[in-house]
Structure 1
Amino acid sequence: MSIHDTLNSASRFAASQWRAAGIEGRKEEQRLWAQVSVYRDFLGATGQAYLFEDYLKGIAPRPRPHVSTALGVRQDGTSQKVLALLLRAFDETPEKQLVSVLIHLLNFIVDTGQLGACEDYINNRLDYAPLAIAHFTTRDEAEAWHRGLVEPPSPADILIGDEYYLAWYSRENNARGMYRDYMLEPYVEELTARGIPPTSPSFETRAEAEEWLKKHPASPFDFVSIAGEHYLAVHHKRLERHSLHHVASTLTEWEEEKKRAAEREKTQDGAVSPEGKDE
């Protein structure tokens, strides 16, 4: 089983426990199971699945999963509660392998010094722009970086100019690539539908807007006007930069992508007979 399949199975287990806790009215337990799922989301968003796979290979088999020493000395409350929940689940469920993966995932985040970044992601994921791990001016620069890595983060979003791309890599066959990822377009659509404030800051050039945004970061989305055209400014805290998205052209491109996606789905559906067999 690949590491991605292993993580997906562990995530499904956490989701089932979240649902059960909700049905039975155990609200605090449900909240903690939701946090377990976001640890998995953080690992995926930062492209660390293969690093985690290597971490698992270095763990000696034990009757009960070990607890990271670094986590054991923390007194922050939430991570300790999550750990206690997982250890109790390990003792009570027959799905011990899946719970072990979730415990080791928390250990991995702590042992690699990422708990602070992970908790920031957990606490602010609804307030931040979709996470991108790197920025490049051109696609050629991005592809040179991607080719130059022995094992690129996978999968993980990057920014090329102002656009999101998903960079992927398969350890199993050493294949790699990247493609346009429409992460931000739904935000532009929704925020524009709510209405563009008539008092948005106005600039003559993009350079002026970028300089102003350095001292007035978007939080994380703000509209600005450049040469009379509306743009959505997006603050990428991790990258310490802003991207600027021309509203009119972004909405047009997003409509075209939605049509393409609908056509792809229609084509895929048409390739399967009513009995579920390929025609």
Structure 2
Amino acid sequence: MRIYQFLHNAFLFAASRMQAAGLEGRKEEQRLWIQVNAYRDFIMATGQVYLFEDYLAGVAPTSRPHVSTALGARPDTTSQRVMALLLKAFDETPEPEQKQSVSLLIHQVNFIADTGQLEACEDYIHNRLDYAPLAIAHFTTREEAEAWLMGPAEPPSPADILIGDEYYTAVYSREDNVRFMSRDYVIEPYIEELAAEGIPPTAPAFETRAEAEECLKSHPASPFDFVSIAGEHYLAVHHKRLNRHTLHPVASTLTQWEEQKRVVEREEARYAAMNTEGEDEES
């Protein structure tokens, strides 16, 4: 799990520089440091942590990190401004451990550029708050998803996938070949918030799901739209990366979400009680 520790250390370095820039009123630099960590977010959200680890293993050691030639092909981009900031930080940072963190931040940008993902990453950086939570693959059934996860190839990890209309997190550990997936309640807060704002009375109405899906092909949700199917309200969610929609029944989804929140609350209370008991025994 060393790659995760390296990523975390680099994240903390960027976060400290972001905080310092904000306190000193350097707003543009603060914004760029925020975006520095968005490259890490993109790598993790798309399940490319181990691919990035392999990329780092192939980078020849140099006194100063190289800059991907792919960055020069797209002038005046977020990535170029971020790279200029990171090179300046590398030159001004004397401590070896911090220099290692800056080097990793530089190679995050290089990795994305060298693998042809600059446009996708910058789209993610600028629009991730407006898009649906990112899922990297869709499967019709859980059996199909498990066959993919347990197959001979290394699956992307950690990453969200869709099984039917539901989000799951798929996890693979290269170190011990552990593979599993679990339900991820990532879309439910969106449904709760949007439903609380009110479902438009003019929401498009359809008799069947097939009719709704056919219409959404020509008029994609942006990225969320309410529709009515056979008298029941659904939230249509557009997954741009997968070029598809999921449809979430509002009433039953909110009921399940309330139950899930109660489960989490009970678990947190039980955990807090266990910690309190442990502290009492120590005292």
Question: So what's the TM-score if we normalise by structure 1?
Answer: 0.97
Structure 1 counterpart SS, 2:133? coil
Q: State the Cα distance separating 1:149 from its structure 2 match.
A: 4.2
Aligned match for 2:247, one of 241, 244, 247:
244
Q: 1:79 and 1:277 mapped to 2: Cα distance?
A: 52
Give CA deviations for 1:66-99 in whole Å, capped at 9, x if unaligned: 1112223431332111111001111112210000
Letter paired with 1:121: Y
Q: 2:203 and 2:131 mapped to 1: Cα distance?
A: 20
What RMSD over aligned residues (CA atoms) do the two structures have, in Å? 1.4
Whether 2:189 is the aligned partner of 1:182: answer no
Q: 2:14 and 2:262 mapped to 1: Cα distance?
A: 34
Q: State the Cα distance separating 1:159 from its structure 2 match.
A: 0.2
Give CA deviations for 1:108-145 in whole Å, capped at 9, x if unaligned: 00000000110111111111100000000000000001
Aligned to 1:99: 102
Structure 2 counterpart SS, 1:91? helix
State the number of aligned residues: 279
Letter paired with 1:157: D
Aligned to 1:69: 69
Aligned to 1:4: 4
- Name stretches of at least 5 consecutive residues in structure 1 with no aligned partner: none
Aligned match for 2:208, one of 202, 205, 212:
205
Q: 1:131 and 1:278 mapped to 2: Cα distance?
A: 45
Q: 1:35 and 1:167 mapped to 2: Cα distance?
A: 26
Q: 2:62 and 2:73 mapped to 1: Cα distance?
A: 21
Change (3 A) 1:150 1:276: farther
Aligned to 1:114: 117
Identity between Structure 1 and Structure 2 (%): 71
Whether 2:27 is the aligned partner of 1:27: answer yes
1:233-272 matches, within 5 Å, as: 233-272=236-275
Q: State the Cα distance separating 1:273 from its structure 2 match.
A: 3.5
Change (3 A) 1:247 1:98: same
Whether 2:195 is the aligned partner of 1:196: answer no
Q: 1:229 and 1:100 mapped to 2: Cα distance?
A: 53
Which stretch shows the higher mean deviation, 9-18 or 152-161?
9-18
Structure 2 counterpart SS, 1:148? coil
Change (3 A) 1:170 1:3: same
- Name stretches of at least 5 consecutive residues in structure 2 with no aligned partner: none
Structure 1 counterpart SS, 2:275? coil
Letter paired with 2:109: L
Letter paired with 2:89: A
Aligned to 1:138: 141
Q: State the Cα distance separating 1:146 from its structure 2 match.
A: 0.9
Question: Where in structure 1 do 4 or more consecutive aligned residues deviate above 3 Å?
Answer: 273-279
Structure 2 counterpart SS, 1:178? strand
Give CA deviations for 1:152-205 in whole Å, capped at 9, x if unaligned: 111000000000000000111110100000010000000000000000000111
Change (3 A) 1:263 1:207: same
Aligned to 1:17: 17
Q: 1:226 and 1:275 mapped to 2: Cα distance?
A: 52
Q: 1:172 and 1:149 mapped to 2: Cα distance?
A: 15
Structure 2 counterpart SS, 1:272? helix
Which stretch shows the higher mean deviation, 180-189 or 65-74?
65-74
Which stretch shows the higher mean deviation, 45-54 or 6-15?
6-15
Question: So what's the TM-score if we normalise by structure 2?
Answer: 0.95
Structure 2 counterpart SS, 1:238? coil
Give CA deviations for 1:197-229 in whole Å, capped at 9, x if unaligned: 000000111111111111110000000001111
Aligned to 1:225: 228
